Structure 1
Amino acid sequence: MLRTRVTEFFGTRLPIVASGLQWLANADYAAAASRAGLMGFLTAASFPELSDLRDEIRRCRDLCEGGPFGVNVSMLPKLVEGDRTEAVFDLIAGEGVRFVETSGRNPESYLPRLRAAGIKVVHKVPTVKHARKAQAVGVDMVEVIGAEAGGHPGMELVGTIVQATLAAREITVPLVVGGGIGTGEQLVAALALGADGVLMGTRFLVAEELCAHPGYKTRLVEARETDTTLVMQSLRNTLRALRNETTERIQEVEKEKPGDLSALMPLISGKLGRQAYETGDMRLGALSLGQSVVFADRVEPFAAIVARIEAEAEQALERLRRLGG
């Protein structure tokens, strides 16, 4: 229905990318996206041991049944002791993965080794300024996210419709935009603005294939667009997350001790979030969530979600046809 540079790049049916999700983007998630005609990424950071990541890549390849998939590598903003980015990239190359989604810091130093392995690099950024830089260093595709996005939307917090328009005017490599996008109407709108595709994460959190507690998914079905909040701004690492007891406490600590990582770490540790996903206790953790959660209105198979998005897109296109006479 919609052929763009994104569908040609990945070899997918639809110009939609199911982005990596900490702890939740495993082989089942990425493969469900692939089988539904999307591009799906599993998240390297969800697997502390490289051997587990290797096993998950192999399981994903089997589940995809020949369809495309990739690995999300979230690089820390600066090198720290114990950084394993190089080892992860070496493993990915050794397993013959064709696509990598990077974020966090400039991937320039890793591009030669990734290109030598035949890997295409998609870099995710929070501003058009960063998109220009990514394009200049030679990434193959750029993803630009707006303020509505779950996870880390950056410090400037520019809305997606503004980001998309600006990026489409300046970026010449294939462009994907995200942040608050969860419907077919929004997909069509993004393409009309000049993007080649859209990024979705929050919308797929209620997919049956997602390895999260039923109580977590139920809470998301009940959530509104106003049920997210921003934390970690004092660390210059803004996070949009589900509003809960943990985020309220984080905001209190940030007022009392702004920028104090040691005081915040017990609250922002990924272990708390993982516990929430496993137990359904939604009081726990800074759980990344975008404003598009309002569109995640029922728990259903991944393919059913995508079918609804396709139907919405077709309705939007029909409205545009009628406007054209």
Structure 2
Amino acid sequence: MPVASGRFVMDDADHESREGESMRNRFTAMFGVEHPIMMGGMQWVGRAPLVAAVAEAGGLAVLTALTQPTPEDLTKEIAATRERTDKPFGVNLTILPTMKPPPYAEYRQAIIEAGISIVETAGHRPQEHVEDFKANGVKVIHKCTAVRHALSAQRMGVDVISIDGFECAGHPGEDDIGGLILIPAAADALDIPIIASGGIADGRGLVAALALGAEGVNMGTRFLATQECQIHANVKDKIVASTERDTNLIFRNLHNTARVGKNSVSDEVVDLLSRPDAEFQDVAHLVAGARGKNVMEEGNLDNGLYWAGMAQGLIHDVPTVAELIGRIMEEARGIAAQRLPALLA
């Protein structure tokens, strides 16, 4: 008999002989992938070589639209990814509340015209974009940090929710709810599939997410420390050397909380914004996107911010993407075949 976890089915044959086999559920069936593992959008990271590597290894990955300077550059990056893989991949479009927003509608149109059928959305008021994507047959995964936001997105018509716990890199919301509560709360409230994000880096996290009601995982920090990720080796080494305590929460007083890697710059941002009269302008020069790009591309670790989640504490090497996904799936199968049946017995 198969071993089942909710709506998720794993064959019960000896797990040591199953390397490369897929797991089946609504998420893998919907997107035509082998494994319930996703690499979400990451600024300066979601480029063709890494996205194609994840796709080839049987996961789902997305290009980060706003990493590309223009919609025309995004079209070229989509083509470059297709040259590397014929397997499914998508594009992330994150809506940021900025003073000078990028031409979101033009990026959206580039995605649609390129024939992309999977999009990950995130951020501020995505309804216009979701409606256009759905009208053009695009499946939408929307990232949320709260159940109430996930319910709103479900009503909007998205296909899957990526629910981000407090452990995640980037913006964890303002509720400070960890995945152990947030994932099952979302699973209880929603009818559409959910995938779990935040603090997941190995097979233990995958099995835990499935047990809590998710149908897959969305990892970011773990994919930073892979061979195919085109960021500087200094950043990868920093992640490997870091523990789960080596992140900073910035912008708390601005109600735009963000989790970043701990370095001298993020320490200074925390210090400056801890003052009662602090404003964003006090740290604008430290958090500029150009400085963050320099960290990722040139490896100047104390020149700007870099995104990293608590999952750093679970990352101890820099494998290839294929090695990483294979390892996660094998570990998950081992837990399902050995630990869980022992508990039930």
Return the alpha-carbon distance in structure 2 between the equivalents of residues 13 and 228 of structure 1. 32
Matched, 1:228 2:244: no
Matched, 1:12 2:22: no
Matched, 1:56 2:56: no
Residue identity opposite 2:60 in structure 1: M
Q: Percent identity?
A: 35
- 3-state SS, counterpart of residue 132 of structure 1: helix
Q: Which moved more, 1:19-28 or 1:253-262?
A: 253-262
Return the alpha-carbon distance in structure 1 between the equivalents of residues 66 and 131 of structure 2. 22
Matched, 1:112 2:131: yes
User: Would you say the 8 A contact 1:232–1:238 is kept in 2?
Assistant: yes
**Equivalent residue number for residue 35 of structure 1:** 56
**Equivalent residue number for residue 94 of structure 2:** 74
Return the alpha-carbon distance in structure 2 between the equivalents of residues 110 and 310 of structure 1. 34
Give the 4+ runs in structure 1 shifted more than 6 A.
none
Q: Which runs of 5+ in 1 are unaligned?
A: none
**Equivalent residue number for residue 133 of structure 1:** 152
Per-residue CA distance 1:69-115 (angstroms, 9 max, x = gap):
011011014x7544411111101000000111011123222233212
**Equivalent residue number for residue 26 of structure 1:** 47
Return the alpha-carbon distance in structure 2 between the equivalents of residues 227 and 258 of structure 1. 27
Return the alpha-carbon distance in structure 2 between the equivalents of residues 69 and 259 of structure 1. 42
Matched, 1:322 2:322: no
Per-residue CA distance 1:283-321 (angstroms, 9 max, x = gap):
122211011112221112111111111121012112102
Cα offset, 1:4, TM superposition = 1.3
Per-residue CA distance 1:95-144 (angstroms, 9 max, x = gap):
00011101112322223321232111111011111001100111111111
- 3-state SS, counterpart of residue 171 of structure 2: coil
**Equivalent residue number for residue 156 of structure 1:** 175
Q: With the length of structure 2 as denominator, give the TM-score of the two structures.
A: 0.90
Residue identity opposite 2:166 in structure 1: A
Matched, 1:262 2:281: yes
- 3-state SS, counterpart of residue 274 of structure 2: helix
Residue identity opposite 1:108 in structure 2: Q
Residue identity opposite 1:92 in structure 2: I
Q: Which moved more, 1:252-261 or 1:197-206?
A: 252-261
- 3-state SS, counterpart of residue 283 of structure 2: helix
**Equivalent residue number for residue 45 of structure 1:** 66
User: Would you say the 8 A contact 2:117–2:138 is kept in 1?
Assistant: yes
Residue pairs, 1:89-104, within 5 angstroms: 89-104=108-123
Residue identity opposite 1:6 in structure 2: F
Q: With the length of structure 1 as denominator, give the TM-score of the two structures.
A: 0.96
Matched, 1:250 2:272: no
User: Would you say the 8 A contact 1:235–1:259 is kept in 2?
Assistant: no
Across the aligned residues of Structure 1 and Structure 2, the Cα RMSD in angstroms comes to: 1.4
Residue identity opposite 1:7 in structure 2: T
User: Would you say the 8 A contact 2:272–2:278 is kept in 1?
Assistant: no
Distance verdict in 2 for CA 1:258–1:69, change over 3 Å: farther
Return the alpha-carbon distance in structure 2 between the equivalents of residues 31 and 257 of structure 1. 46
Cα offset, 1:257, TM superposition = 6.1
Return the alpha-carbon distance in structure 1 between the equivalents of residues 233 and 133 of structure 2. 38
Residue identity opposite 1:76 in structure 2: L
- 3-state SS, counterpart of residue 140 of structure 2: strand
Q: Which runs of 5+ in 2 are unaligned?
A: 1-21
User: Would you say the 8 A contact 1:235–1:258 is kept in 2?
Assistant: no
Aligned length: 323
Residue identity opposite 1:242 in structure 2: G
Return the alpha-carbon distance in structure 2 between the equivalents of residues 36 and 312 of structure 1. 16
**Equivalent residue number for residue 24 of structure 2:** 3
**Equivalent residue number for residue 303 of structure 2:** 284
